[in-house]
Chains A and B, each alone.
Chain A
Amino acid sequence: MGGLPANRTVNGFAVDTDNPKVMYVAMRDGLFKSTDAGETWKPVGKDLRNLAAVAVNPKRSGEVYVATADGVIFKSPDGGMTWKRQQ
């Protein structure tokens, strides 16, 4: 699980349906993405913080949603590279 902040709470987790080795972890520190089933992780969405949950659209690979702890939703159409606030 290299690349995730150590000893920190994982609040949210989601998997890409097309390729289950692509996965996302939501933490207070932000969003992290793995493309090797969780062996290594990289931060994505550098301005995202205080995340409570993450979800992937099962019909559109790469369409990712995150929610902050107080319910602000952000959407990415490209696997976490770019983000847009939904409200």
Chain B
Amino acid sequence: MRQRLTVFTVLGALAMLLTAPPTASPAQESPSKGGGFEHVHALAADAEGRRLFLGAHTGLFRSEDGGRSWRKVALSAKHGHPDVMTIAPHPRDPLVLYVGTHEAGVFQSTDGGSTWKEANNGLPGLDVHGLAIDPNAPQKLHAAVREKGDGLYRTTDGGGKWVRVDDGPGGEVKVLTSVNIPTGMGGIYLYAGTAEGLQRNPDCF
């Protein structure tokens, strides 16, 4: 009886494995067919348009074939696979990109996403919902921070140090982008997608 129970248990586990839908679990490092992500937050192409990056509740993913298959990208040994809220690729250098996460702040890669370092100096909170890189001056980025230190922050040295700008757009920020449209006041516009719709503000204050 005990032996039969064991056989059934093993068969049951095997059946579950065979019928389980393709999900992007933290343990899965091999290429996966898409459609199995939890809570996608961000999508971006690198400067050469060769690689796509996707940010989701289960981490960061990279595709080399236009989104047909995805491979998980390890962001941080300390934080595992943080909830990736936003992705900001460098406008000209395909090796440089930044991501903002829900619980571990900003990460920067200078080798196309193979290795990452934290870039949080000056940020009072680590819940980053929007990250915008300036298309004309890529060392300049804006970050929309939620919860602790809620507001808009700016770096002018590629994430070396962040300084608070103001309270930022009203409503929960979902996406933040620097758009190369001159304001006439010496800067360009920041567009923010929020829970209250699309908002536009000059970035020069």
- At the interface, is chain B mostly helix, strand, loop or mixed? strand
> Is A31 in the interface zone, CB < 8 Å from B?
no
Interface readout for A14-41 with B: 1 if CB under 8 Å, 0 if not?
1101001101010000000000011000
A15, B181: Cα distance in complex, Å: 11
A84 CB, nearest partner CB in chain B, Å: 10
Chain B residues close to A by CB (< 8 Å): 24, 33-45, 47-49, 52, 54-56, 63, 66-69, 91, 135, 172, 174-175, 177, 179-181, 191, 193-198, 200
A73, B71: Cα distance in complex, Å: 14
Contact among B52, B55, B180 with A20 in the assembled complex (CB-CB below 8 Å): B180
A49, B24: Cα distance in complex, Å: 22
A11 with B54, Cβ < 8 A, contacts A4-B198, A73-B34, A86-B68 known:
no
The 7 closest A-B pairs by CB, nearest first: A71-B37, A10-B193, A73-B67, A59-B49, A53-B43, A57-B49, A87-B34
Most buried by A among B38, B39, B66: B66
B98 CB, nearest partner CB in chain A, Å: 15
B127 CB, nearest partner CB in chain A, Å: 17
Interface readout for A47-87 with B: 1 if CB under 8 Å, 0 if not?
00000111111111001011111111101000000000011
Residues of chain A with a CB closer than 8 A to B54's CB? 53, 67, 71, 73
Residues of chain A with a CB closer than 8 A to B180's CB? 15, 20
Most buried by A among B39, B40, B49, B63: B40
A73, B67: Cα distance in complex, Å: 6
| Contact yes or no, B198 A87, CB < 8 A | no
A35 CB, nearest partner CB in chain B, Å: 13
A12 with B67, Cβ < 8 A, contacts A55-B52, A66-B43 known:
no
Interface pairs (29), CB distance under 8 Å:
A8-B197, A9-B193, A10-B197, A12-B43, A13-B175, A15-B191, A20-B181, A25-B193, A37-B181, A38-B191, A53-B40, A53-B41, A55-B43, A55-B45, A55-B52, A58-B91, A65-B45, A67-B37, A67-B54, A67-B67, A69-B39, A71-B37, A73-B34, A73-B67, A75-B67, A86-B67, A87-B34, A87-B68, A87-B69
Task: Given contact pairs A67-B37, A67-B67, enumerate 19 new A-B contacts (beta carbons under 8 Å).
Answer: A6-B197, A7-B197, A10-B175, A10-B197, A11-B193, A12-B175, A15-B179, A20-B135, A20-B179, A23-B191, A37-B181, A52-B43, A53-B43, A55-B43, A57-B45, A58-B45, A60-B49, A67-B43, A71-B24
Closest partner residue, chain A, to B189 (CB atom): A37
A23 with B179, Cβ < 8 A, contacts A13-B198, A65-B52, A87-B35 known:
yes
A70 with B35, Cβ < 8 A, contacts A53-B43, A56-B45, A75-B67 known:
yes
